[in-house]
Amino acid sequence: MRIGARGSKLSLAQAGHMQRRIAAALGADPAKAAEVEAVAPLIVITTTGDRVQDRRLLEIGGKGLFTKEIEEALIEGRIDCAIHSMKDMPAELPPGLCIAAIPEREDPRDAFLSRDAVRLEDLPQGARLGTASLRRQAQSLHRRPDLDVQMLRGNVDTRLAKLAAGDADAILLAYAGLRRLGLGDLPKSLIDPKEVPPAPGQGALAIETREADRDLPWVAGLRCETTTLCVTAERGALAALEGSCKTPIGAHAWLEGGTIQLIVEALAPDGTVRFRHAGDTEISQLSDPLASARDLGFSLGQAIKSEAGDVIIL
């Protein structure tokens, strides 16, 4: 079972964790590295998003550039599945491919890191905030229009080094990535996902396969029902808003009893205007809870799209 993944430290940490789970599902001993590698070898694939680090993704084709080469390998049969960060997955997948499993999600919140300030609100007037995310830029400027947002790309180590060197007064990163790298103690604070929703699917992983392999026996053991429902709702909003790196979109879903709660927001890129809708749907008695979750997200996204028009598109 050849597993494709990007070569960044975070991607390898995520893929390595799933590699052991996949190998175990295929009958290997996850504690024996040689056995794991023999049964489920990891194939590192460099993507355009990894190669081009001096421009925003929206300038070079969008977040699909983190998945394009890996998906080509999957279509061509050079790998059998791929491990992605869900937040990097475009709303639409290439024909013949599917998200076969979504494992249990890590913490979805954004993390605030700074040398001095504890929260975004504590930064001095005109402070430099480093981020390559249009969503984080728009949400931060909505809260603090005085901030000087600087484009900051690169892997986690690179961004942390730039913060330490004084290239920015603060940065925002996904807390899930920091935790997976053993750096969960670095943030000065975590941002409330209900007040400032993260990217749809943030903190979750996507196991992508060919459509024909969706229901292979090893896949089922990787699925988390709660995470799948919540991410499906969030990605429903993404689909409605035609989400790309040119549209600042945040979405956060959670399960409360037998009900999915969802908050969706989209903003003008400069943060001056924010459109926000919330809703819920009962899932306990439904025959197709995934369809209900997606419909909830899609309806909230459509409501925002109707209200906002082109204001939210860069």
Are 230 and 105 in contact, with CB atoms under 8 Å apart? yes
List alpha helices for 5-133, DSSP H.
9-25, 33-39, 48-51, 57-60, 68-75
DSSP letter assigned to residue 309:
G
Are 244 and 88 in contact, with CB atoms under 8 Å apart? no
Spell out the residues 6+ positions from residue 44 whose beta carbon is closer than 8 angstroms to its own: 5, 6, 7, 12
Q: Does 88 qualify as catalytic in the annotation?
A: yes
Cα separations in angstroms, 268 against 221, 246, 277, 308: 41, 10, 15, 9
Are 137 and 206 in contact, with CB atoms under 8 Å apart? no
Element (H, E) at 279: strand 274-282
Element (H, E) at 292: helix 289-308
**Which residue among the candidates 80, 88, 110, 169 is catalytic per the annotation?**
88
Spell out the residues 6+ positions from residue 291 whose beta carbon is closer than 8 angstroms to its own: none
Cα 140 from chain centre = 18
Question: H helices then E strands: how many in the chain?
Answer: 11, 13
Are 75 and 67 in contact, with CB atoms under 8 Å apart? no
Element (H, E) at 290: helix 289-308
Q: Which residues are catalytic?
A: 88
